[in-house]
Chains A and B, each alone.
Chain A
Amino acid sequence: MKKNNRRGFQLNEKQLGYAMVLPSLLLVIAVVLWPVAQSFYNSLFDYRLNDPTRSQLMLGSTIDLERYVDNHFYIEGQLETLGSADEELAATATAIQEEIEGYHAELIQDEEMRQKVEKIDEMLASYTPVRDNELKYADLENDFAADYREALTNAQEELDAAAEQAPNEEVASTITQTADLLGATSANILESNFIGLANYGKYLKDSRMWGALGNTAFFTLVTVALELMIGLAVALLINRAFKGRGLVRASVLIPWAIPTAVAAMMWGFLYDGQSGIVAHYMETFNLIPGSSWLLSTADGGMFSIILADVWKTTPYMALLLLAGLQTIPGSLYEASNVDGANKWQQFWGITLPLLKSSVLVALLFRTLDAFRVFDLIYVLTGGGPANATESISVYAYKTLFAQQNFGEGSVLSVIVFLCVALISFIFVKLIGSDLFAGRTK
């Protein structure tokens, strides 16, 4: 057994403490902080996964070596074919060939570039796709890139013009083929897609973005307010001794515990215009204009989403508030009874002030959850009809993954992030240091 004096022991405890915190901190940094920073960085680019000329983040000019080497391989042969097909064009073809070779030689003057080109050449010869982006893309000097690209497009235009005067169809098609090849090669030399805050400017003027933000804010305000009021009422009512508490508690927990997507599917069935029971009863009791109103109109869609969310989350809210109520000592109510206070005065004078911090913390978590709403809306209405129920998260998801537009989608993600940060900041100011009470010394 090691002998420890008190000082040494303290030091060890500290080191152990930091060692114990470190893995989690690194994980949080790796999977939360870094991605948020990366999202912000992505939002500064015109970055689209489905467009090969913009599928990378490029601060300067870049060359897509895989495609370039492949295209370049055919240029010489193609130009020779062209020269022998049309004698008038032979001189032009040679001139173009020389010019391209000049640029190509300049490109591979750089030792590293030459090695990359050779490596890719080998891989292409064996039909191996280049997956390593470090190898596939290389930075170019902006001036050189512009010159090379211009030379290629000029040559393409020259040939296109020549194609119109070609003696016959066959020669014309050879010329066009060559021109297209040169055009394709010029498209492999990529311009920077860094556009700074231009994406933000676009979205600040985008009515769909403001619509989505408005829907999200409306949804958040209404659901959280309803959940708080109903939850508080239920908590006050069941804050007493009664038989079957366990059963009530379990039944209240089930809506909270099932996946939101499953709840959304269930409600989708209940709301269905043809066979939905909720839609049917509401129509029978004249609560709604028609059974299809719920999912096929803008107001109905919003109402449906809010009702489903209130159903799923109010029980949870009631549980949290009930636990808060149970920490209020009964003696306070007894004393105020002696003083002749009525129930209403007791509620405002004792219950609410003492429940304040529980309510604020519950509100903070609920508000943030509601503001991030995605699955409920995505599964229940898909954001429709006509984007009337689209939340900002749903809009961001569609831009990111349906349109594969990671630049613009990231702008929307960053907007969600900033809103959430603002909401948290306001709540944390309101709650103050109470949030950490009971966790740190």
Chain B
Amino acid sequence: MNKKAGIGFYVFLVAFVFLVMFPFIWVFLTSIKPVGEIFSSFRWFTTSPTLDSYDAALTNRPLLRYMLNSFVVSGLTTLLSIAFASLTAYAVTRLPIKGKGLILGLVLAASMFPQIAIISPIFNLVTDLGLRNSYLGLVIPYITISLPLAIWILATFFKKIPFELEESAKLDGASPFQTFRKIIFPLAAPGVFTTGILVFIAAWNEYLFALTINSDDMWRTVPVGISMYQSQYSVPWGDISAATVIVTIPIVILVLFFQRRIVSGLTSGSMKE
């Protein structure tokens, strides 16, 4: 249904986008205000913009270190889960094995498990392995979130590739693994990349495991680090708004560049074709 878009429609659209973006706009405007002004007035635009809050946000807490931690943990998680998930998704969608429904059911069930139900044994395990306050200590529990997600989305992408390709590869004498590695995987590369972005964002945003396992300030990730800006006695809104702007920038870039992919990954993950 391709209705023409009228003036009223664009007014609605602008209002909608403004409402959605309002918290970001306000937080950005706050981040360039002098600290005194934040607490004294509700004016939108400051007459004397300053970067003091940014300076404070970066010096009062190791924000760049948080970002590095988040980047390394999410990157490792993405690589690991894509490696395992692409094998599984391929086998489940394209190889003649039994119990496909059971495997996918198990994967789906795993993705529905509440993190709070597994955190205490995982905490004990990571402690026993001596991995608290390390990157690996977070990558292991993140597999619980990312692996089922990756298998689930990759399965839809693998499914879309025409089956004739395998038939002809077989006729040409390629072994099943060669078919996967040289033909199907490269063809699915866009889908794999999309899945990678979604897994990366999921790992980047994780809070509960990061909060409990990496409790040392040098090993905190962005979500936990940000939430530690408020202390019991004062809430430095200037620092917080500047820090929020800084950590949101990479996400905004990611979304602007890959919005089409993200949407296709999101919808394929939750919708049948």
Interface residues of chain A, those whose CB is within 8 Å of chain B, are: 1-2, 4, 9-10, 12-14, 16-18, 20-21, 23-25, 27-28, 31-36, 38-39, 42, 234, 237-244, 246-255, 257-270, 272, 274-275, 277, 280, 311, 315-316, 319-320, 323-324, 327, 330, 333, 357-358, 361-362, 365, 368, 371-372, 374-375, 378-379, 393, 396-397, 400-401, 406, 409-410, 412-414, 416-417, 420, 424, 434-441
Contacts and interface: CB of A to CB of B under 8 A. Distances in A.
A4 B226 contact: no
B17 interface: yes
B114 interface: yes
B271 interface: yes
A31 B87 contact: no
A400 B97 contact: no
Contact of A28 (B24, B147, B212): B147
B182 interface: no
A400 to B, nearest CB: 5
Given A240-B3, A248-B13, A417-B113, A320 B267 contact: yes
B207 A413 contact: no
22 contacts: A4-B173, A20-B95, A24-B88, A25-B103, A32-B118, A35-B120, A35-B121, A42-B121, A240-B1, A253-B255, A257-B254, A259-B226, A262-B247, A266-B244, A316-B266, A327-B271, A371-B114, A379-B207, A396-B116, A401-B123, A420-B113, A439-B156
A265 B227 contact: yes
Contact of B90 (A20, A234, A268): A20
Contact of B263 (A260, A268, A319, A371): A319
A242 B204 CA distance: 33
A320 to B, nearest CB: 6
B42 interface: yes
Contact of A14 (B95, B104, B170, B254): B95
Interface string B60-98: 000000000000000000000000110110111101110
Contact of A246 (B20, B30, B207, B259): B259
A242 B207 contact: no
B175 A2 contact: yes
B5 interface: yes
B116 to A, nearest CB: 4
B20 A255 contact: yes
B120 A269 contact: no
B136 interface: no
Contacts of A438: 156, 159, 272-273
A262 B201 contact: no
A372 B206 CA distance: 13
B107 A28 contact: yes
Contacts of A20: 87-88, 90-91, 95, 180
Interface of B: 1-5, 9-10, 12-13, 16-17, 20-21, 23-24, 26-27, 30, 38-39, 42, 84-85, 87-88, 90-93, 95-97, 100-101, 103-110, 112-123, 125, 140-141, 143-144, 147-148, 151, 155-156, 159, 170, 173, 175-177, 180, 201, 204-205, 207-208, 212, 222-224, 226-227, 229-230, 235, 237, 240-241, 244, 247-248, 251-252, 254-256, 259-260, 262-263, 266-267, 270-273
A23 B87 contact: yes
Contacts of B100: 440-441
A257 B17 contact: no
A420 B93 contact: no
Contacts of B12: 237
A260 B147 contact: no
A23 B93 contact: no
Nearest first, the 10 closest Cβ-Cβ pairs linking A and B are A17-B95, A35-B118, A261-B223, A17-B97, A323-B267, A38-B121, A20-B91, A375-B207, A35-B121, A242-B5
B115 to A, nearest CB: 7
Contacts of A400: 119-120
B237 A416 contact: no
Nearest to B241: A269
A36 B106 CA distance: 14
B5 A320 contact: no
B117 A417 contact: yes
A45 to B, nearest CB: 12
A440 B247 contact: no
B273 A24 contact: no
Contact of B266 (A311, A320, A416, A417): A320
A21 B97 contact: yes
Given A259-B204, A420-B113, 5 more contacts: A20-B88, A36-B117, A262-B244, A361-B270, A374-B115
A194 B169 CA distance: 59
Contacts of A315: 20
B112 A368 contact: yes
Given A242-B9, A272-B235, A420-B113, A259 B259 contact: no
Contacts of B207: 259-261, 374-375, 378-379
A437 B177 CA distance: 26
Nearest to B30: A269
A434 B101 CA distance: 12
A28 B148 contact: yes
Contacts of B88: 20-21, 23-25
A253 B92 contact: no
Contacts of B141: 31
A265 B244 contact: yes
A9 B148 CA distance: 29
